[in-house]
Amino acid sequence: MGVGEETLKDIIKELQKPGFDPREELPPIPFKEGITDIKMLSVGSFVSGVVRNIADFGAFVDIGLKNDGMIHISKMSATKISHPLEVLSLNQYLPQIEVVSIDEERGKVGLSLVG
C-alpha cells in the first residue's frame, strides 16, 4: 500500500470505530444570543464566532448567520502580519469580534479583531 507500519496501525485503529464523529465531543458554540439575521447587526456591535476557513487575505468566521463573516488580514492585529495563521487557527473560538461593515444585499459581514 505504500504506507509505513505505524500509519497502517492508525488506519486499522480508526476503522474499528465506525460511525465515530469527533465533533460530537466538542461543546456547542456560544453565538451571540438573539442574532439570527443580518438585519439584526449594526456596525460597531460585537458578535462571537468560530474560524471556519483561512485564506491568504483573511479568515471566514461562522457567526451564527446563513453566511460567514470575514475578517480581512488588516483587521486581525494592531501590527502588520504576513499571514492570518500568525493570529488565528481553524475552529478557533473568537468571543468578541467587532462588526465593521454590513452589506445586506449581498449577505456579507466585515469583521475586526482590533478596536
pLDDT tens digit sequence for 97-113: 999 999 999 999 999 99
- The one-letter code for the residue type at 101 is S
Half-sphere exposure of 77 (CA within 13 A, CB side): 12
Q: Which domain holds residue 103?
A: 27-112
Q: Is 54 exposed, middle or buried (0-12, 13-18, 19+ CB in 10 A)?
A: buried
Asked if the structure places residue 102 within a domain, the reply is yes
**Whether pTM exceeds 0.85:** no
Asked if the structure places residue 80 within a domain, the reply is yes
Sign for the pseudo-dihedral over CA of 44, 51, 71, 107: negative
Higher-pLDDT residue of 89 and 32 is 89
CATH of the domain at 34: 2.40.50.140
